[in-house]
Amino acid sequence: AALVEVGLAQSGARQYEDAEKALRAACAKAPGWAEAWIELGLVQAQAGRDDAARESLAEARRLDPFNIRASNTLTMLTDLAQFKSIESDHFIVRYKEGDDLVLAREMPAVLERIYERVTGNGPGGIDHKPAGKTVIDLMPDHAMFAVRITGMPQLHTIAAATGPLVAMEAPRVGAGHSTGVYDWSRVIQHEFTHTVTLSRTKNRLPHWFTEASAVYLEDAPRDESRCTMLARALDTDQLFDLDSINVAFARPQKPQDRGMAYAQGHWMYEFIVEKWGAAAPLKLMDQYAAGVREAQAMESVLGVSRAAFLDQFKVWAHAQVVSWGLAMPEGVPSVKELLAQSKSEGGSGTTPTPELIDAWIKKYPDHPQVLELAVSAALDKNEGKVSPEMVPLIERFALAAPVKHMPHRVLAKYYLDKGEGEKAIPHLEFMDIREVYNPAIAVELSKRYGALNDWEKAFQKAERATRIAPYDAAHRELAATMAIKAGHLDAATRHIDALTILEPDREVHRKRLDAVRKLMQATPPAPPGGD
């Protein structure tokens, strides 16, 4: 039993080689004990040693035919052995035969770009190349993905890295899928960052730190919901300390704890980069790799204690929240304080009147909270519709509160409804760069750029839509059209070929594919397009 506990502890710390040694020793001492074989098989599966895992789990199931985790994982590994694979310089993509081929064959080119970004020495790069190829398992449904990671068919996420391998649920809608479509390239860039940081640190680094670096390397701005959550936690003194943040990932006490831990960890990582430079996180990683504890590593690299780090971080974080328009600068009253002042002067002190809002706007023309009140009041008065007179006010609000989505959403709709698509583009771009789950904004941008005859941008946005929803035939049609317009006949061929798999009964796709291939033969090669 002691050897199994040692193995479990080492597995939890992703020390797979040591965990396997301990669990093999446990199996040798008690060859009839199913639990030891089960844990050995699960560790081998997480380490990507699938053949060994199948042997161990087969023995576990022989000893205990009713163990669900062993049975689930053995069935999954048996099915996985039938998967097809595609290799690139640094990755092996495994997928179930069928229409998952549509996504699987597009993945290597994107993955290699991710590899260069994450392993490189550019801003935020980890400057480290893991040994061997990383396996990407494209699982056809959520249950198979979850079993791959935990042995059970439910998991709170859509992709996960164990170190040497990354598993992901296919980004599609329908029965058996937990989330639906999502930007798989952004998600895998996050997960592959785990693979690289764990390799650089020999799997030794605080949980919050590995998640923080992975979110940082998603290369996407923080969305409004996370900004609001962070601002509220800072204002109410509810930020985690450097111990409780790690607990929040593994054993969250409240529903929002895990999301808050991701957001705060990323925020602290940004602080480290801004205050101590881009090399500081890498120096911390090397300290962790050498077995140095967090407190000593921070003292050595950052020159501060953990307590001092948090104190300095909170000062910096407050300035960030002010820059987001979610807190007021020193000397500027909040709306709550303005209402209290109004009450002391005879007002209701509860709901600001239009006259009061007008007075506040004149006194504080760039006040984000007052501007939000003014915009909301104007929209309510006009049945939710933007009028030309409102546009300057909404634009001021967007500048005063640069993380807020609302001004961009209403202005994009206003300009699209007016037929002024070019003016909608900056607002659509603001939303699209923050979007993970909805391809509609990328589709709209593709059409807007197409209307301007900017075919390259139209093509790139159509490509983005297919990365979020790779099995959607309509998005493939759009991407093929824009690829032809942009002169990327290779990409057009790829999308039309995908349509022959997604909609095999439509003869028109095969005819179009033949036509584009003939056009390629008659056309000088253009630079490769898309993925």
Across 166-170, 203-207, 227-231, least confident range: 203-207
Quickly state the pLDDT bin for 154 (edges 50, 70, 90).
confident
334 lies in some domain: no
Express the helix, strand and coil content of the chain in percent, nearest 5 each.
Answer: 65, 5, 35
The closest of 243, 248, 278, 282 to 263, measured between CA atoms, is: 248
Q: What is the DSSP letter of 354?
A: H
Q: Tell me, yes or no, whether 314 and 235 share the same domain.
A: yes
Domain boundary among 293, 308, 323: 323
Is the model more confident about 204 or about 184?
Answer: 184
311 lies in some domain: yes
What pLDDT was estimated at residue 153?
85
Name all contacts of 65-71 with Cβ < 8 Å and 24+ positions apart. 67/34, 67/38, 68/151, 68/152, 69/38, 69/42, 69/150, 69/151, 69/152, 70/34, 70/37, 70/38, 70/41, 70/151
Contact 368, 396 (CB under 8 A): no
176 lies in some domain: yes
Kindly state the average pLDDT of the residues 434-455.
Answer: 98
What pLDDT was estimated at residue 530?
59
Share of the chain above pLDDT 70, in %: 98
329 lies in some domain: no
What pLDDT was estimated at residue 525?
63
pLDDT at 529 over 70: no
Kindly state the average pLDDT of the residues 95-119.
Answer: 97
Kindly state the average pLDDT of the residues 385-397.
Answer: 97
Kindly state the average pLDDT of the residues 181-203.
Answer: 96
Q: Tell me, yes or no, whether 237 and 272 share the same domain.
A: yes
DSSP structure string for 356-416: HHHHHHHH-TT-HHHHHHHHHHHHHHTTT---GGGHHHHHHHHHHSTT-SHHHHHHHHHHH
Is the model more confident about 102 or about 175?
Answer: 102
Domain boundary among 80, 110, 131: 80
φ and ψ of 284, to 5 deg: -65, -45
Kindly state the average pLDDT of the residues 201-215.
Answer: 94
What pLDDT was estimated at residue 444?
98
Q: Tell me, yes or no, whether 138 and 73 share the same domain.
A: no
Kindly state the average pLDDT of the residues 10-26.
Answer: 88
What pLDDT was estimated at residue 228?
98
Question: Tens digits of per-residue pLDDT, 397-416?
Answer: 999 999 999 999 999 999 99
Q: How many domains does the chain have?
A: 4
pLDDT at 141 over 80: yes
Quickly state the pLDDT bin for 432 (edges 50, 70, 90).
very high
Q: Which amino acid, 403?
A: V
Q: Tell me, yes or no, whether 249 and 292 share the same domain.
A: yes
Other beta carbons within 10 Å of 237: 7
CA distance 148 to 137: 9
Q: Tell me, yes or no, whether 230 and 190 share the same domain.
A: no
Quickly state the pLDDT bin for 349 (edges 50, 70, 90).
low
193 lies in some domain: yes
306 lies in some domain: yes
Global pTM value: 0.93
Q: Which CATH number fits the domain that encloses residue 96?
A: 3.30.2010
Average pLDDT in the chain: 94
Domain boundary among 146, 173, 200: 200
Domain that holds residue 121: 84-200
493 lies in some domain: yes
Q: Tell me, yes or no, whether 214 and 289 share the same domain.
A: yes
Q: Tell me, yes or no, whether 54 and 134 share the same domain.
A: no
Question: Tens digits of per-residue pLDDT, 250-290?
Answer: 899 999 999 999 999 999 999 999 999 999 999 999 999 99
pLDDT at 192 over 80: yes
| N-terminal to C-terminal alpha carbon distance within the chain | 50
CA distance 74 to 492: 40
360 lies in some domain: no
Q: Tell me, yes or no, whether 71 and 115 share the same domain.
A: no
Q: Tokens 């709550």, residue? A: 336
Question: Tens digits of per-residue pLDDT, 317-344?
Answer: 999 999 999 999 999 999 999 998 888 7
Question: Tens digits of per-residue pLDDT, 71-80?
Answer: 999 999 999 9
Contact 62, 43 (CB under 8 A): no
Kindly state the average pLDDT of the residues 195-206.
Answer: 93
Question: Tens digits of per-residue pLDDT, 43-72?
Answer: 999 888 999 999 999 999 999 998 898 899
Quickly state the pLDDT bin for 531 (edges 50, 70, 90).
low
What pLDDT was estimated at residue 156?
81
Q: Tell me, yes or no, whether 191 and 102 share the same domain.
A: yes
What pLDDT was estimated at residue 348?
65
Q: Which CATH number fits the domain that encloses residue 59?
A: 1.25.40.10
pLDDT at 36 over 70: yes
Q: Tell me, yes or no, whether 173 and 196 share the same domain.
A: yes
Quickly state the pLDDT bin for 236 (edges 50, 70, 90).
very high
Q: Tell me, yes or no, whether 70 and 142 share the same domain.
A: no
Q: Tell me, yes or no, whether 93 and 75 share the same domain.
A: no
What pLDDT was estimated at residue 186?
98
